[in-house]
A and B are shown apart, each in its own frame.
Chain A
Amino acid sequence: MSRKRLRNLGWDAIGILVLIVMVFPVYWMVTTAFKPGQKILSYTPQWFPTHPVLSNFRDAIHQQFFWDAVKNSLIVTSVVVVLSVVLAFLAALALAKFSFYGRKPFIVVILGVQMVPLAALIIPLYITMARLGEVDKLSGVIIMYLTFALPFAVWTLRGFLLGVPKELEESAMVDGATRFGAFVRILLPLLGPGLVATSLFAFILAWNEFIIAYVFLHTPEKQTLMVWLASFTTLRGTDWGPLMAGATLCALPVIVFFLLVQRRIAFGLTAGAVKG
């Protein structure tokens, strides 16, 4: 066997190992959700549920506040996705297409705020939001999520916008469109992949976020799904079966959303606009 093949084999092995490490927790979550209670805590791990049961799912759904949490998560997520895409599009337009005083510092600051760890921000943010009367309200959490989703979204969309040749909008303007008309008719359709990537990011962020929701939302009726999941862990121990079933249910929307939009994250939509 040649050295090259040996080396490739080594890389393949590492790749497979990494895949296993990544996939195993998900696999264990899903299989545990289908195992009856006594099998979950048995000393000899059961790698595959031989007699899958749905009782864990039933328990999870009938757990208190499940439907409240679903409703809250859907509200928070959809508002965050829509607002972040709209605001990020406008902000990215400004950054990519107009030159104004302070543009460069602004771009740097956008990246800079991403560097600050959430743990360092959470207490000052809590105090600020408390003064504004936005604690224990979905609107408060939405504002918080937007502050975290927007910088990334703006940055991403700006990149996509810079990739669209300026002659396209100029041509539209000469052809009779207003400047805003050129943005909407020409730029917006070309930004498809960027908008999809941005909304996917905002969706995952808003749907999966735990710490902010946990800190800001006290009332059980106002909690999101991730906080609701934590309620399976009590002082008397953790109810693993329903927890894993609940976690599996919570992961589904993200997977579905991704499957719905992933085809649109194809690059090269601008192919043919200009000579390459």
Chain B
Amino acid sequence: MAEIEFLHVGKVYGGDTLAVSDLNLKIGEGEFVVLVGPSGCGKTTALRMVAGLEEVTEGEIRIGDQIVNDLAPRDRDIAMVFQNYALYPHKTVYENLAFGLRMRKVPKEEQRRRVEEIAQKLGLSDMLRRRPGQLSGGQRQRVAMGRAIVREPKAFLMDEPLSNLDAKLRVQMRAEISRIQKALHVTTLYVTHDQVEAMTMGDRVAVMRDGVLQQVDTPQKLYDSPANLFVASFVGSPPMNLFEATVDQGGTQLVFGDTRLDLGFRSLPDYAGRRVIVGIRPEEVREASGWDGARVRGRVLLVEALGAEQIVHIQIAATPLERADLVDAAAQPPGPSLGVEELERSVTLLGRFDRHLLLTPGEAVEVAIDPRLLHFFDLETGIALPTAAVPAVAGVAG
């Protein structure tokens, strides 16, 4: 068991392709940290540098109190689970599990004891004589996990280990990996592009984009106070609603479309008269009956019934984001299929509504937006604006 630490780590491919840039991250002893981001964000490169499969261009990587930059993979005492499992096809399950022990010259008897113990734990006891080709996807995944566990390494590295499983099995294995990690209390660095996986499994989640670490925090903090527009749009499903608005009345009011929204106890004095990006989570978009605060008028475009709840697409008058480069591309809902003129002034809000609410496409609807729950971001940099501003000027604006 050991800490893993990245210190100003950078990776450049072929002289000019920057894969990871100035990465600083510390994974505590026994901690489960998930590196998450869209494909090509450098998360796998970061992981492979810890494994020793990729050279570190600059900075230092430490495992325990040892700098491992120049250490061969086999001398790092870590175990890795690959996306495609990388089981040795010509070896039986038993030989696959025992391979690492054999390489480390563990006595035969000890090998047998440990392999059988792990096989028992993972429900592989009946398959020790089989070869990987004769196993199902889920069983192969277990063997890959087992091969990592049996070594009792200082740390686990996992590179999207669940992405080849079907949806049901993935949910099941997600819980199982979490359970195993908690039980063994082994430092774990886990890479995925799936933010749900990241949120459900990690003690802490590190969001990466274009080789740059965006934010590291507990899943809940990441969700509640994203550091920038990218994290806000990447974390959460469906993603956060984002649109542009103008700050008015010395920072106490928000204007978008034909809506004027009092910010109540909050204000953005520095942004008075300027435009900002406003974000609101789908579950905070509510149907307005019984709400005495500000209302936003809109029209229902689409209702997606999920059983327990429904996702309602509501078109409102507001300015869509211009800077698409600041957000996670995959997270943006498609714009409404209307005339171009209308498109420019309208935004689709996603609302997570109670299933008993009857709404039909085309229907006019009023939604309530609680200003206390809004997120604000700088239009240029995408950085989250300090939201908990003291009501210094709140009294002035009635």
Contacts and interface: CB of A to CB of B under 8 A. Distances in A.
Same complex origin of A and B: yes
Interface of A: 165, 167-168, 170-178, 181, 186, 189-190, 269-275
Contact of A272 (B73, B74, B134): B134
A177 B104 CA distance: 9
A168 B88 contact: yes
Given A170-B73, A171-B88, A275-B84, 5 more contacts: A165-B84, A167-B86, A272-B135, A272-B140, A274-B84
10 contacts: A165-B84, A168-B88, A170-B73, A170-B80, A172-B88, A173-B73, A176-B74, A273-B84, A273-B88, A274-B84
A189 B89 CA distance: 10
Interface in B79-105: 79-80, 82-90, 99-100, 103-104
Contacts of A170: 51, 53, 73, 80, 82, 86
B51 A174 contact: yes
Contact of A176 (B51, B82, B84, B104): B104
Interface string B147-159: 1000100000000
Contact of B82 (A167, A181, A189, A269): A167
Interface of B: 51-53, 72-74, 76, 78-80, 82-90, 99-100, 103-104, 131-135, 137, 140, 147, 151, 164
B103 A176 contact: yes
Contact of B74 (A177, A273, A274, A275): A177
Contacts of A171: 80, 82, 86, 88, 147
Contacts of A272: 87, 89, 131-135, 140
A186 B95 CA distance: 12
Interface of B is mostly: loop
A269 B103 contact: no
A190 B89 CA distance: 8
Q: Which of B72, B89, B103, B137 gathers most chain A CB within 10 Å?
A: B89
Contacts of A168: 86, 88
Q: Return the 6 tightest CB-CB contacts between A and B, nearest first.
A: A272-B133, A176-B103, A274-B84, A272-B132, A167-B86, A175-B100
Contacts of B79: 174-175
Contacts of B104: 176
Contact of A178 (B53, B74, B82): B74
Contact of A271 (B73, B78, B84, B89): B89
Contact of A174 (B73, B90, B133): B73
Given A170-B82, A272-B135, A176 B88 contact: no
Contacts of A273: 84-89, 132
A140 to B, nearest CB: 39
Given A173-B72, A175-B147, A269 B90 contact: yes
A173 B151 CA distance: 13
A171 to B, nearest CB: 4
A172 B133 CA distance: 18
A165 B103 contact: no
A270 B132 CA distance: 9
Contacts of B88: 168, 171-172, 186, 273
Contact of A175 (B52, B135, B137, B151): B151
Contacts of B86: 165, 167-168, 170-171, 273-274
A271 B100 contact: no
A186 B134 CA distance: 19
A107 B76 CA distance: 35
Q: Which of B73, B85, B137 has the most CB of A within 10 A?
A: B73
Nearest to A271: B133
Contacts of A172: 88, 99, 103
Contacts of B78: 174
A174 B51 CA distance: 7
Contacts of A177: 74, 103
A175 B89 contact: no
Given A171-B82, A272-B140, A275-B84, A176 B89 contact: no
Contacts of B151: 175
Nearest to A268: B133
A175 B99 contact: yes
Nearest to A164: B89
B85 A275 contact: yes
B95 to A, nearest CB: 11
Contacts of B52: 173-174
A53 to B, nearest CB: 50
A275 B164 contact: yes
Contacts of A173: 52-53, 72-74
B80 A275 contact: no
Contact of B90 (A178, A189, A274): A189
B143 to A, nearest CB: 10
Contacts of A175: 74, 79, 99-100, 103, 147, 151
Nearest to B78: A174
A190 B140 CA distance: 18
A176 to B, nearest CB: 3
Nearest to B85: A274
A261 to B, nearest CB: 17
A178 B84 contact: no
B207 to A, nearest CB: 25
A22 B72 CA distance: 56
A167 B89 CA distance: 12
Nearest to B75: A176
A251 B277 CA distance: 82
A275 B137 contact: yes
A172 B52 CA distance: 12
B85 A174 contact: no
Contacts of B132: 272-273
A247 to B, nearest CB: 40
B101 to A, nearest CB: 9
Contact of B100 (A176, A190, A270): A176
Contacts of B76: 174
A180 B74 CA distance: 12
